[in-house]
């Protein structure tokens, strides 16, 4: 079988990843945009080498479990891999390892709580939506406008395409800065794609906290490799709560960047073969501009300054 050599020196079967994806997406996979994960390549290499595929299958099972893929869909996808190599079924040890990896991911979610993002240590958007409901209840009981009691502090550090490792380092740094500025347990969340939000009371010293937060983010992201994937300077602004809870949840959705597998290159869709410079490319060669699912980078509007949201808190994405 013809192979390509990836940047890491590993041999990859030409077209195997694409054949596997075509087989899976065309029969069992529900969302084509979230099929790819780096663990896909690891398992493809293991299968090609003809060695023990169990460790790589465990990694893929864990990745699928962490990102909410059901066990049935995960197993069917494994079958598609072996089917694309001419084998009707995967070996038992690979199936067992895939199941164990998926189960371990699910157990971790039960232990740590699915309301906490593992990269940042901050709560998720869904958790913040629940805390927002409490804020609106307080406003209703006091018979006041919710905007009189609470505000949203929004932090946007996104700066174009970010690799998985750099995204994790950036997220950890900003998450630590958020906890330092507002305190552990404060209503806040990561929205993905380098966007973070905190719910603050209007009687807090919001301006001072925002200033401290901006300085702390810059300090924690001062490492050369991390700094290149952080917006300079980070955008931090304050905006009032909308009139209703549903509008506030919608606002979080507008601020969020819910791109599946954000920051991870994905193989080209068959319809984009010409754009993707061939049917098969080694990992790492696909750029954001070639992704069939849309670039994750932030496009700057030259007519706006870097701190435009601070002077226009009501700006919508």
pLDDT of 93-102, one tens digit each? 999 999 999 9
Residue 22 banded pLDDT, cuts 50, 70, 90: very high
Residue 14 banded pLDDT, cuts 50, 70, 90: low
CB 229, CB 160: distance < 8 Å: yes
Q: Give me the pLDDT at residue 33, please.
A: 79
Residue 20 banded pLDDT, cuts 50, 70, 90: very high
Q: What are phi and psi for residue 113, nearest 5 degrees? A: 90, 125
CB 18, CB 280: distance < 8 Å: yes
CB 287, CB 161: distance < 8 Å: yes
> What letters, b where the CB count within 10 A reaches 16 and e where it falls short, cover 238-260?
bbbbbeebeebbebbeebbeebb
Q: Give me the pLDDT at residue 162, please.
A: 66
pLDDT of 103-119, one tens digit each? 888 766 554 455 777 76
Q: Give me the pLDDT at residue 194, please.
A: 84
In the predicted model, is pLDDT for residue 305 greater than 70? Answer: no
Q: Give me the pLDDT at residue 159, please.
A: 74
Residue 224 banded pLDDT, cuts 50, 70, 90: low
14 secondary structure, DSSP code = T
Local structure of 195: helix, strand or coil: strand
Q: Where are the alpha helices (DSSP H) in 146-267?
A: 146-149, 164-182, 206-220, 224-227, 245-255
Q: Give me the pLDDT at residue 257, please.
A: 60
Q: Give me the pLDDT at residue 279, please.
A: 34
CB 61, CB 67: distance < 8 Å: no
CB 42, CB 56: distance < 8 Å: yes
CA distance linking residue 294 with residue 150, whole number of Å: 35
Q: Give me the pLDDT at residue 108, please.
A: 61
CA distance linking residue 256 with residue 52, whole number of Å: 40
Candidates 99, 97, 103, 154; CA nearest to 125 is 154
The predicted model scores a pTM of 0.47
In the predicted model, is pLDDT for residue 308 greater than 70? Answer: no
pLDDT of 27-64, one tens digit each? 999 888 789 888 998 899 899 888 899 999 999 999 99
Q: Give me the pLDDT at residue 287, please.
A: 36
Average pLDDT over residues 57-85: 90
pLDDT of 146-182, one tens digit each? 989 999 999 988 876 666 677 788 888 888 888 888 8
Angle between the N-to-C axes of helices 54-66 and 38-49, in degrees from 0 to 180, rounded to the nearest 10: 160
In the predicted model, is pLDDT for residue 313 greater than 60? Answer: no
Residue 79 banded pLDDT, cuts 50, 70, 90: very high
pLDDT of 254-274, one tens digit each? 887 644 444 444 444 434 433
Q: Give me the pLDDT at residue 302, please.
A: 38
CA distance linking residue 51 with residue 45, whole number of Å: 9
Q: Give me the pLDDT at residue 29, please.
A: 92
CA distance linking residue 51 with residue 47, whole number of Å: 7
Average pLDDT over residues 205-217: 89
Residue 280 banded pLDDT, cuts 50, 70, 90: very low
CA distance linking residue 161 with residue 298, whole number of Å: 8
Local structure of 100: helix, strand or coil: helix
239 secondary structure, DSSP code = E
Q: Give me the pLDDT at residue 272, please.
A: 40
Local structure of 159: helix, strand or coil: coil
Q: What is the mean pLDDT of the chain?
A: 74
Percentage of the chain lying above the pLDDT 90 cut: 22
297 secondary structure, DSSP code = S
């Amino acid at each position: 079988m013809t192979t390509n050599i990836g940047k890491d020196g590993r041999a990859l079967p030409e077209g195997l990843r694409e054949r596997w994806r075509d087989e899976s997406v065309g029969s069992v996979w529900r969302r084509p945009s979230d099929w790819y994960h780096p663990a896909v390549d690891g398992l493809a290499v293991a299968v090609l080498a003809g060695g023990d595929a169990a460790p790589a299958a465990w990694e893929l099972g864990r990745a699928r479990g962490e990102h909410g893929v059901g066990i049935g869909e995960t197993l069917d996808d494994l079958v598609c891999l072996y089917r694309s190599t001419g084998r009707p079924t995967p070996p038992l040890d690979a199936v067992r390892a895939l199941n164990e990896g998926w189960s371990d991911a699910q157990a971790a979610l039960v232990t740590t709580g699915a309301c906490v993002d593992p990269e940042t240590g901050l709560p998720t958007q869904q958790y913040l939506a629940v805390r927002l409901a409490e804020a609106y209840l307080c406003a209703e009981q006091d018979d006041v406008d919710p905007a009189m009691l609470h505000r949203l502090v929004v932090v946007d550090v996104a700066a174009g395409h970010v690799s998985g490792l750099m995204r994790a380092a950036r997220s950890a740094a900003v998450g630590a800065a958020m906890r330092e500025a507002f305190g552990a347990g404060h209503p806040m969340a990561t929205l993905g794609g380098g966007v973070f939000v905190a719910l603050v009371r209007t009687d807090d010293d919001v301006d001072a906290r925002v200033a401290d937060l901006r300085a702390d983010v810059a300090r924690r992201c001062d490492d050369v490799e991390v700094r290149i994937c952080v917006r300079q300077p980070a955008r931090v602004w304050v905006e009032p709560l909308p009139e209703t809870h549903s509008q506030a949840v919608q606002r979080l959705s507008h601020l969020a960047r819910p791109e599946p597998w954000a920051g991870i290159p994905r193989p080209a869709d068959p319809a984009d073969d010409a754009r993707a410079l061939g049917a098969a490319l080694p990992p790492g060669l696909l750029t954001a501009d070639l992704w069939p699912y849309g670039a994750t980078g932030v496009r700057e509007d030259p007519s706006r300054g870097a701190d435009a949201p601070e002077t226009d808190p009501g700006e919508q994405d």
